[in-house]
Each structure stands twice: as structure tokens, then as C-alpha cells.
Amino acid sequence: MPEPTTSSRPRRRPLPELGVSEQAATPVPEVKPEVLPAVAPPVKAPEAPATRTARLASAWPGTLRVRSAPSGSMYEWRKAGDIVQVLESDLAHLLAKNRNDAHGCCGSSGPRIYFVLV
């Protein structure tokens, strides 16, 4: 049987793995920053432009309903003398319904007043 040959070179030690130490791992306590509740600044409602209104009285002896105002508002007067607050943007439209001149059609020949500005 052949004899084992001895080499003249010494055996190499295995190289240590990089990033790995032989010391036991010691956990480091986690430090978390203190979280404070966020304080929201006070919220201010946007200032709406002041809506200007006018008082309009009905001069018509019955119920009047206006659904075609330029602002989209609906107005109702139940009897003559009722007063309703109307938007100034609708005022010209409502007063234009009054007919002050003589209208010679079909027997209706007099002024027709629906609304009076109060």
C-alpha cells in the first residue's frame, strides 16, 4: 500500500466569513421617537359674499309662484300683501312681469301690477 505523502505546504485554515463575528449577538434596544398628536390649525370658513335681498310684496289677489328666477330660486306669494325676501339678482326679472301700459289684446286693456317693491 502506498504511504500517504506529506506535502511541504502547511494546511490552510478556512477563511472567516465576511460580516460574521464570533461574538454572541447582543440586542440593541430600539429607540422610537416620541410621537405627539398633530394639532390642526383652526379652520375658518371662507367668507361668502353677502347676499343682498329686497322685499317684494304681491299686489295680485291670488297665489303667485315664480320658478323661473335667474338665480334658480323659487318664490311664492299666497295672497295680496304677502311680502317675500328676494335676491337682488332676481329683482329686475320679477318687476319686469308688471305691465304698466295699456295692452289692447283680447279685452285685457289695463295695467297689470303683480309686484310692488317695499
> What pLDDT is stored for residue 7 in this prediction?
62
Number of domains making up the chain = 1
> What pLDDT is stored for residue 1 in this prediction?
54
> Is the model more confident about 37 or about 77?
77
Span 39-89, pLDDT tens digits: 888 888 777 777 889 999 999 999 999 998 999 999 999 999 999 999 999
Kindly state whether residue 15 falls inside one of the protein's structural domains. no
Nearest to 53 by CA among 13, 108, 106, 91: 91
Question: What is the pTM (predicted TM-score) of this model?
Answer: 0.53
Kindly state whether residue 42 falls inside one of the protein's structural domains. no
Kindly state whether residue 95 falls inside one of the protein's structural domains. yes
Residue count of the chain = 118
Kindly state whether residue 31 falls inside one of the protein's structural domains. no
The residue range of the domain holding 68 is 53-101+113-117
Strand ranges (E), the chain:
53-58, 64-66, 75-77, 83-87, 115-117
